[in-house]
Structure 1
Amino acid sequence: MPPPPTASAPEDPAEAEEQVRDAWARFFSPETSVEDKSRVAENGGDYQLMIEALVKDPQTRVLRVRVDSVTFTSDLHARVGYTLFSDGRKVGPDDPGASVRQDDTWKISAKTVCSLTKYGKDVPQAPIC
């Protein structure tokens, strides 16, 4: 179990925001392997098969992201405003996503990755969802 948040923001918010944005960019890049996508997702190894299904699904593999805002709610959590695009057309979401700091690395939250399955044709959610 991770330690409870202790501050309202990371020690270096600018660096932390850069790491958050990088994790999101890597996760949504078509050049990033399933293994690397799993590394930038919270507990990604636990649901790597779902991430692989997201990569292979014809509807989710074309999703691209624009991170619009990063707001730290503690030194371990951030709210991420983002927009998803499919073939250049906005497809969602209506609610913000999240990033978490795990093993001293900022990652996309498991809940956010789980929310991506609704954009696929046949992407089953992992039990973690």
Structure 2
Amino acid sequence: MVLERLGGRPRLAALAAAALLALAPAVAGCSDDSTSGSQVSETPPPGMTALPPGEDEPADAAAAEAEITKNWTAFFDPKVPAAEKVKLLENGEAMQPVLAAFAGDRNAAMTSAKVTGVEFTSATEANVTYDLLVGGAPALPDSQGTTILQDDTWKVSVKTLCGLVELSGVTVPGC
């Protein structure tokens, strides 16, 4: 599946798969048992779409979008220390062991993300479209994730992280 999305670029597909697989063992060891598998989907249920602009979005949507873009870029930046990423992930303290393992993986060190769109679904949540990059080249373009406002900070949702792990083909309890 990943190879098809990458237009037949097997090396890039292998790197993307390796980067995603690197997360799976660490996530398995420290997952949140309160999250059920039915909550992993990154696409809204049928009939649910983002609200029209101006309805149920943050008071300063432009500032929120800028913060989301900044935080997502930092979260997926291999140069940002795991201790900083904890602050950018929903329930980051509970997911700290995952981030520490991710930071030490050489494949993860080549993975980054570029936000290409933000669509608010409420004043505290938004859908994020992003390109997952490996070595600067798009490995998973037009990926979909979610962000949540938690503790006055726009954070990458655990659902998004679990969705990436799910793409690796590994079943992770709590995701």
TM score, norm. by length of structure 1: 0.81
1:53 Cα shift? 1.7
Pick one of 98, 107, 110 that aligns with 2:158: 110
The count of residues paired between Structure 1 and Structure 2 equals 120
Q: Which has the higher contact order (CA 8 A, sep 6+)?
A: 2
Same amino acid, percent of matched pairs: 36
Determine if contact 1:50/1:124 at 8 Å carries over to the other structure: no
Which has the larger strand fraction? 1
- Residues 27-67 of structure 1: per-residue CA shift (max 9 Å, x gap): 12222111110101000110111111222222222111110
1:83 Cα shift? 0.5
Larger Cα-atom Rg? 2
Change (3 A) 1:59 1:118: farther
* Alignment match, 1:45: 93
Gaps of 5+ in 1: 1-6
Determine if contact 1:30/1:61 at 8 Å carries over to the other structure: yes
1:1-129 equivalences under 5 Å are 8-92=56-140, 95-117=143-165, 125=172, 127-129=173-175
Which has the larger helix fraction? 2
Change (3 A) 1:61 1:124: farther
Change (3 A) 1:52 1:27: same
